[in-house]
Structures are given as structure tokens and as C-alpha cells.
């Protein structure tokens, strides 16, 4: 079943890979031509580094320098209690990783997805896969294959159905313990394990994660957030208001809301009958932090790199 995908990866081609967060545009992280193809396909500026996806801690440790704490963190969040967490760690010298993956930085972002198809693809390929979300730069991240097909009609897609988590991984700088991007592993989860308060890096002076651009994850329709009363021609995205057309979660469950956030915005656009999207306030707690982060960037007007 994996053969065509493995063959493509060995040849330096790109494959859409399901993960528990969103689908990724995966390519062999050791082949510069494959990494170049990812940037080109996505239309992503090559100064925005990619996440390196590994199948186990040993693979990660051959590319990045792990402190004892970093080992503890991944043993817990990658293996014992899997949650989507990417660590930014010092890059080991003289590895086979393409320098394009890290955009020339001395650090590398690494994550072990928990999706069985992703794990098996990486494990059988035997080398890490660079994989940004499988969408054109600045558009919605895809959480099911149809969303990818629309933008990349000819792409080989490993179909894993819908992604369970629905927002991207949390990115933690494992040296400063700053959260560079809120995501599917909540700040509370991290703080309880690390037994310390973490800061969220909201205004970095250098761009350390593309998810930090002020406008990102954007649908093509204008989007307004924290709306109680929508305009007539807007699709109204609700939370905790019962089963109505664009409800993220009828009962007000943040896990459920995250899982269908991007697919709901996508479905609204596909309907082609609205002039805008209005989203109800979503509680700023747990996964609500990542949801609000994505919505705020989707609502931003300009593409300013902070
Ligand atoms: O859930 C996810 O993380 C998904 C799935 C496919 O795994 N991937 C994803 O990749 O969201 P992407 O490329 O859309 O986001 C990668 C983020 C960017 O914000 C990038 O700047 C950051 O990781 N990043 C990569 N290398 C970094 C580094 N060395 N230091 C800081 N941030 C880095
Ligand atoms: Mg992305």
C-alpha cells in the first residue's frame, strides 16, 4: 500500500502525508531538490524553515542536539502521551539534512507525528521528511484530502481521511522554553509537565515561524472574529449554540471545534454564496488559544511580517 509513496519520496518527489494535525507536503529532508520542490509548490519564501518529521526519538537525535529536559519532553509528548509538539533544537553539525530545510538557521524544528500512516511512511522511508502544511502559502491548512486536491490536482495523496486534531502542532523553543506557535498541545499540558510557566512569543523581532506572520491561515473571504451578530450576507460560524449550519461544536467542546475549524471555513467558501465569514467568540483557554490564534491571523488585513 505504501509502495508508490515510498518510490516517489526516494526519487525526490513530494507526497501529501496525513498527520493527526493537518496534512503535510512531505519530501525527503535530506534531498535538497525535494525540499526546493516543497517551497516551490507551496509558494513559500525559502527563509521560512520547515518542520522535520521523524518516526522516533533516535532519528530525531541524529539531527538535533537534545538536552536531558528535551529528551524528557519528547519521551512524554511523543511516546507516552502523544500530543502534537514540535521542538526547536540546536542543529547537529555535519548531518545529511538539506540546509534548505532549516533556511540556514543553526536550529531545527523536529516533530514525531502520531498518525500511524505518517509514522509508517517515515519509518519505511528510513529518513526524515520535511513537511509544511499541504496548502499554498497563506491559505487554510488542509484537514482532509479534498482540500488538498483543489489546490494541487496532480499531487500524490496518502489518504488518511480527516485529521483528528485539526490545528497544527505547538512549536516550543526547547532552549528558551518559549511557545513559538500555539497549537494542538496546549500550554497547560506543557506547563504541567515542565512544572513552570511558559511565555508565548507573540512579537518576535525575527520571524521564527511562518505561523507568526500577522496574516496566515486565511480563507479568501473576509473574516471577522468575536462577532455576536453577523451581517446578512455572512456565514455565521458558531460555538456552543446547538446544531446549526456552521457550528464548530454544538455543545461548546474545544477539541471538536479545533478538529473542524479549517474544514468548516473551507466548506463555507466552497458554497460560493457568502460574502464574508463571521465567527462567534471562542473561549481563550486550552485549545481555544490555538483556535483564536488561527482566526486572528485569518482575519488580519495585511501580510506584515512582524
Ligand atoms: O502540525 C504541523 O506542525 C504541520 C504538520 C504537517 O506536521 N506542519 C506545519 O508546518 O504546520 P508549517 O511549515 O506550516 O509550519 C512550520 C513552522 C513554521 O512556523 C516555521 O517557521 C517553524 O515551524 N520552524 C521551522 N523551523 C524552525 C526553526 N528552526 N526555528 C523556529 N521555527 C521554525
Ligand atoms: Mg502552514
Protein residues with C-beta less than 5 angstroms from the ion ligand 2:
133
Please work out whether the CB of residue 290 comes within 6 Å of at least one atom of ligand 1.
no
- pLDDT tens profile 57-82: 999 999 999 999 999 999 999 999 99
* Residue 240 to residue 244: CA distance in whole angstroms: 10
Q: Listing from the earlier edge strand, what are the strands of the sheet with 247-249?
A: 223-224, 276-279, 234-239, 247-249
**pTM summary value:** 0.94
Give the per-residue SS3 of 164-200.
CCCCCCEEEECCCCEEEECCCCCHHHHHHHHCCCCEE
* Residue 58 to residue 116: CA distance in whole angstroms: 18
* Residue 96 to residue 28: CA distance in whole angstroms: 11
Structural contact between residues 12 and 34, judged by C-beta atoms closer than 8 angstroms: yes
Residue 133 per-residue DSSP state: B
Write down the pLDDT at residue 305: 39
Structural contact between residues 203 and 244, judged by C-beta atoms closer than 8 angstroms: no
* Residue 282 to residue 41: CA distance in whole angstroms: 33
Q: In this structure, which residue's CA is closest to atom 18 in ligand 1?
A: 209
Structural contact between residues 118 and 163, judged by C-beta atoms closer than 8 angstroms: no
Please work out whether the CB of residue 170 comes within 6 Å of at least one atom of ligand 1.
no
Structural contact between residues 276 and 202, judged by C-beta atoms closer than 8 angstroms: no
Quick one: which ligand is closest to 132's CA? Answer: 1
- pLDDT tens track of the chain, all 306 residues? 899 999 999 999 999 999 999 999 999 999 999 999 999 999 998 889 999 999 999 999 999 999 999 999 999 999 999 999 999 999 999 999 999 999 999 999 999 999 999 999 999 999 999 999 999 998 999 999 999 999 999 999 999 999 999 999 999 999 999 999 999 999 999 999 999 999 887 654 445 555 555 666 778 899 999 999 999 999 999 999 988 899 999 999 999 999 999 999 999 999 999 999 999 999 999 999 999 999 999 998 654 433
Please work out whether the CB of residue 105 comes within 6 Å of at least one atom of ligand 1.
yes
Amino acid at each position: 500500500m505504501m509502495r508508490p509513496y515510498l518510490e516517489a519520496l526516494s526519487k525526490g518527489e513530494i507526497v501529501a502525508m496525513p498527520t493527526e494535525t493537518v496534512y503535510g507536503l512531505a519530501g525527503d529532508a535530506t534531498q535538497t531538490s525535494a525540499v526546493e520542490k516543497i517551497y516551490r509548490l507551496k509558494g513559500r519564501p525559502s527563509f521560512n524553515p520547515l518542520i522535520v518529521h521523524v518516526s522516533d526519538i533516535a532519528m530525531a537525535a541524529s539531527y538535533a542536539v537534545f538536552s536531558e529536559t528535551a529528551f524528557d519532553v519528547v519521551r512524554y509528548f511523543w511516546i507516552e502521551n502523544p500530543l502534537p509538539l514540535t521542538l526547536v533544537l540546536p542543529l547537529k553539525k555535519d548531518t545529511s539534512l538539506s540546509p534548505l530545510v532549516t533556511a540556514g538557521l543553526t536550529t531545527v524544528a523536529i516533530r514525531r507525528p502520531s498518525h500511524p500512516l505518517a509514522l509508517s511512511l517515515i519509518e519505511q522511508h528510513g529518513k526524515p521528511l520535511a513537511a509544511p502544511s499541504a496548502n499554498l502559502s497563506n491559505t487554510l491548512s488542509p484537514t482532509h484530502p479534498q482540500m488538498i486536491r483543489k489546490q494541487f490536482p496532480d499531487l500524490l495523496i496518502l489518504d488518511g481521511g480527516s485529521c483528528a486534531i485539526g490545528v497544527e502542532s505547538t512549536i516550543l523553543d526547547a532552549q528558551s522554553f518559549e511557545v513559538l506557535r500555539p497549537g494542538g498541545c496546549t500550554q497547560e499540558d506543557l506547563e504541567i509537565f515542565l512544572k513552570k510557566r511558559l511565555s508565548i512569543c507573540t512579537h518576535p523581532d525575527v520571524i521564527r515561524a511562518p505561523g507568526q506572520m500577522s496574516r496566515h491561515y486565511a480563507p479568501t473571504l473576509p473574516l471577522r472574529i468575536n462577532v455576536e451578530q453577523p451581517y446578512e450576507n455572512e456565514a455565521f460560524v458558531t460555538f456552543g449554540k446547538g446544531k446549526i449550519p456552521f457550528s464548530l461544536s454544538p455543545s461548546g467542546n474545544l477539541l471538536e471545534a479545533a478538529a473542524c475549524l479549517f474544514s468548516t471555513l473551507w466548506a463555507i467558501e466552497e458554497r460560493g454564496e457568502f460574502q464574508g465569514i463571521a465567527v462567534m467568540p471562542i473561549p481563550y483557554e486550552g485549545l481555544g488559544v490555538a483556535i483564536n490564534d488561527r482566526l486572528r491571523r485569518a482575519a488580519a488585513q495585511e501580510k506584515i511580517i512582524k
